[in-house]
Chain A
Amino acid sequence: DARVTQTPRHKVTEMGQEVTMRCQPILGHNTVFWYRQTMMQGLELLAYFRNRAPLDDSGMPKDRFSAEMPDATLATLKIQPSEPRDSAVYFCASGTGGSGNTIYFGEGSWLTVV
């Protein structure tokens, strides 16, 4: 059963520490999305890749966040340095692309920054 895999599932870290979240998209999918979910902001798009190329990261705080796809099987989202306001659930999703792009979410990385 194909699924998007995210690690870690849960992370508690101290303010100022670096956090790296990883995502393995579904094999054959060429679009990858990073969303952040908080109670206040709903599902906020942070970054979006197609064929490993970053197409849009306008929703991402550039000073501390970075997103990359080193290869087709791995997407990473890094926060350095982390702050308490970064506490949220970070979802990765992948899809086959195109205007009818249906995306499949991973189970999320629950991040708490203390």
Chain B
Amino acid sequence: GQQVMQIPQYQHVQEGEDFTTYCNSSTTLSNIQWYKQRPGGHPVFLIQLVKSGEVKKQKRLTFQFGEAKKNSSLHITATQTTDVGTYFCAGPERTDKLIFGTGTRLQVFP
């Protein structure tokens, strides 16, 4: 079955530093979604990318979908303590069965 891997598994940064997490799928995806889970919380949808090479921004967050539609990245500029949490990418296997990546846990030190 489809596998979705993310690196790094953990990242600790000083507040104000940048952060990037990378997502790689074993198969070509029709779209990629990103979710954020705060400590003790549940995953919350952030964004969906559909087109090859697509780039979308949400304030300090920049999301990119690879040209081959098998990889994606999330970049946070000037991290804040509110960015703490685990970031998951997710892609559909076949139609709408959503497979989640392994996640990257971000810790931000003030």
Contact = CB atoms under 8 A, between A and B. Distances in A.
A99 B31 contact: yes
A45 B97 contact: yes
A9 B38 CA distance: 17
Contacts, number: 56
Given A48-B97, A91-B42, A100-B30, 9 more contacts: A42-B88, A42-B102, A43-B103, A45-B97, A99-B95, A100-B50, A101-B92, A102-B48, A104-B45
Contact size class for B? 20 to 34
7 contacts: A35-B100, A42-B88, A42-B100, A43-B43, A45-B97, A100-B31, A102-B33
A93 B103 CA distance: 18
Contacts of B97: 45, 48, 55-56
A108 interface: yes
Given A48-B97, A55-B97, A56-B97, A42 B103 contact: yes
Contacts of B103: 42-43
Interface of A: 31, 33, 35, 42-43, 45, 48, 50, 55-56, 58, 91, 93, 95, 97-108
Residue among A45, A102, A108 having the largest count of chain B Cβ atoms under 10 Å: A102
B104 to A, nearest CB: 10
A53 B82 CA distance: 39
Given A100-B48, A104-B45, A31 B96 contact: yes
